[in-house]
A = this chain, B = another copy of it.
Amino acid sequence: MKDFSYYAPTQVVFGRGTEDQVSDLIRKYGGSKVLVHYGGGSAVRSGLLSRITAGLEAAGIAYVTLGGVVPNPRLSMVRRGIGLCREQGVDFLLAVGGGSVIDSCKAISMGVPYEGDVWDFYAGKAKPSEWLPVGCVLTLPASGSEMSDSSVITNDDGGIKKGFNTDGYRCRFAVMDPELTYTLPAWQTACGAVDIMMHTMERYFSKDDDMAVTDALAEGLLRTVLSVAPKVLAQPRSYVLRSQLMWAGSLSHNGLTGCGTTGDWATHKLEHELSGMFDVSHGAGLAALWGSWARYVRKENMSRFVRFAVNVMGVEQDFRSPEATAEAGICALEDFFRSLGMPVSIHELTGREITDAEIAEMADKCSGWGTMSVGSLMKLSRSDMENIYRMAR
């Protein structure tokens, strides 16, 4: 069992109409001039954005808006946000959207007080020491960014996607109204469900398998998403079902499911190259890769994959063959992904067979041109990465 630190200070405000509390929350956490950051048109079309800005006006809180954050949020937008915040003297960042918008806010948060270029943090060249406070109104349960210490940004120059972790920009508050997710398309809902599960699974597939409390919580969360996600697709306007998915999303990435375990994160890192290169949805990319990763690494802790098959996927244990049980568990999750309309191979994801050159380029980037490994259950070298991409092709 690994020592751990658990720190999840975000105040969650969960329920119908909670977005009406945003102004009070911003004031509570010291904001007086706000950047309202958002993505595409849905926050505008739904009227959410104008309700929030009307609330800020009524409360006498000054604000500027910056929309247009795209999935796999771009460094160029982060730089625009930093410029705008400095110019306008912004002291609080409000993300209205999903993980991309929150991640963009987090990057702006550490970029504004920093003299150098914000990419330095993602490139590992600098560490932040100051942050603007961030809050969010979550509209897409998936990334868990509303309670996590991480952000992922794509550098427009070369499509390189990098993550960064710090407690400094964790959201001060996260407003979660499940009704705001009623109109999410099935595809996005399904991608979110995969991402939620993977945040727990990246921590679950570990060599430290003696943390019973963490396992119980992880397996409970995974079973809940397995049960709830297909029902949400069938009943997209169910408050109770949308609530489960939303809350499971936060709990899967606030550290709770990793207490005492060593996270693996190889699938996430392999996927970052995939969505960096092909601009596909992160959740779909994870679904396309996970089975191949699992088959490649399961020998490192077969009993863990057996446990997952039995406790999470409900597979009947074949006591003569751990391999067969593990394989049945992997197949069962792939079947589940398919049932949500998710791809389980790269060609299903991108619509074509990717080339050897593309695989080589992704493995190059993911391994820092052969200088780094990823994963902890099994440390993957550059050639392991190529093998997994090829298996998933």
Contacts and interface: CB of A to CB of B under 8 A. Distances in A.
A329 B240 CA distance: 27
A22 interface: no
Interface residues of A, number: 40
Contact of A227 (B210, B212, B256): B212
A65 interface: no
Given A5-B11, A5-B12, A5-B13, A213 B18 contact: no
A244 B18 contact: no
B14 A243 contact: no
A7 B12 contact: yes
Given A6-B12, A8-B8, A11-B7, A1 B219 contact: no
Contact of A1 (B7, B221, B239): B239
A66 B340 CA distance: 60
Contacts of A221: 213, 216-217
A216 B211 contact: no
Contacts of A18: 3
Interface in A7-56: 7-9, 11-16, 18
A4 B11 contact: no
B260 A243 contact: yes
Nearest to A222: B216
Contacts of A259: 14, 247
A45 to B, nearest CB: 26
B14 A4 contact: yes
Interface string A359-393: 00000000000000000000000000000000000
A14 B9 contact: no
A269 interface: no
B8 A4 contact: no
Interface in A215-263: 216-217, 219-221, 223-224, 227-228, 239-240, 243-244, 247-248, 251, 256, 259-260
Given A6-B12, A13-B5, A18-B3, A228 B247 contact: no
Given A220-B219, A243-B260, A251 B213 contact: yes
22 contacts: A1-B240, A3-B14, A4-B14, A5-B12, A5-B13, A6-B11, A7-B9, A7-B11, A8-B8, A8-B9, A9-B11, A14-B259, A14-B260, A211-B243, A211-B244, A212-B227, A212-B228, A216-B221, A216-B224, A217-B217, A247-B260, A256-B256
